[in-house]
Amino acid sequence: MQPQTVTETKIVMSDPTALGVFGLAMVTFVAASAKMHWTNGVTYMIPWALFLGSIAQIWASTIDFKKNNYFGAIVLGVYGLFWIAVAMHWAISLGWFGPIDVTKADPRQLGVACIGYFIFSLFIMVAAFEANKVFAAILVLINVLLPALALSIFGINAAFFMDVAGWSELGISLLGFYAAGAVFLNSYFGRMILPLGAPFGFIRKGPAQVVPLKKQA
């Protein structure tokens, strides 16, 4: 009997980072336009939140899970889910799902959610410092945006903190466009076209190094 031949099929998937980061950049650009008073209202922002902020990032996250890219999978998934929730918040507040009982609806819950995301984003920021400098800068601005949004929603110096949120969100979008373009061009050409900046090197990846004790004479 001849030995059976085993054929292994490997599915190679491209890096989805440019798609996910572009989704983040696009939705924050549109959202910043409202905070900066270039546009008005949230009705027409909902499609951008759902399709760019949510689906694009979550789709990229699922591919990163398959590619064992832990950082991209978690980060894109976390923020993709955020924009689904925000879009639903806007849709409910606009009455898309029927009249709202104001005695059972408190929009400040979105502010509480922003604080929750801010807490986890601090951990993501630590990891981003060891990814590249552009991603690190985006996470720093996200950690300005989230508490500023929360404070404005809570009514604490709302006008000032909404301006802070608007400028930080604009910064996130512009850096996101650059990062998405850089990842796209660098991946397509197989070499460095646009730099993202080396990691800061504050924390070394992998197990901690054990420093041997010096023998006493």
- Tens of pLDDT, residues 1-56: 566 666 555 556 689 999 999 999 999 999 999 999 999 999 999 999 999 999 99
- 9 within a domain of the structure (yes/no): no
Residue 48 located in a structural domain: yes
Residue 14: what pLDDT? 81
Tally of structural domains, the chain:
1
Q: What is the pLDDT of residue 102?
A: 84
Q: Please indicate, yes or no, if residue 8 is contained in any of the structural domains.
A: no
Q: Residue 69: its pLDDT value, please? A: 94
Query: 73 in a domain, yes or no?
Result: yes
Q: How many helices (H) and strands (E) does the chain have?
A: 7, 0
Contact 107, 92 (CB under 8 A): no
Widest Cα–Cα separation across the chain: 82
Angle, alpha carbons 186-190-196 (nearest 5°): 30
Would you say residue 127 lies in a domain? yes
Residue 73: CB atoms within 10 Å: 20
Closest among 141, 189, 135, 183 to 165, alpha carbons compared: 141
Name the pTM for this structure: 0.89
Measured CA to CA, the distance from residue 150 to residue 168 in angstroms comes to 14
- Distance between CA atoms of residues 84 and 99, nearest Å: 21
The pLDDT of residue 213? 63
Specify if 21 maps to a domain. Answer: yes
pLDDT of residue 24: 97
Low-confidence ranges of the chain (pLDDT < 70): 1-13, 208-217
CATH number of the CATH domain containing 35: 1.25.40
Q: What average pLDDT does the structure give for the chain?
A: 92
DSSP letters along 86-152, please? HHHHHHHHTTTTS---GGG--THHHHHHHHHHHHHHHHHHHHHTTT-HHHHHHHHHHHHHHHHHHHH
Instruction: Look at residue 206 in the predicted model and tell me its pLDDT.
Output: 79
Q: What is the pLDDT of residue 207?
A: 78
Domain that holds residue 173: 17-95+105-189
Residue 175 resides in a domain = yes
Domain assignment present for residue 207? The answer is no
- Based on its alpha-carbon atoms, the radius of gyration of the chain, rounded to whole angstroms, reads 21
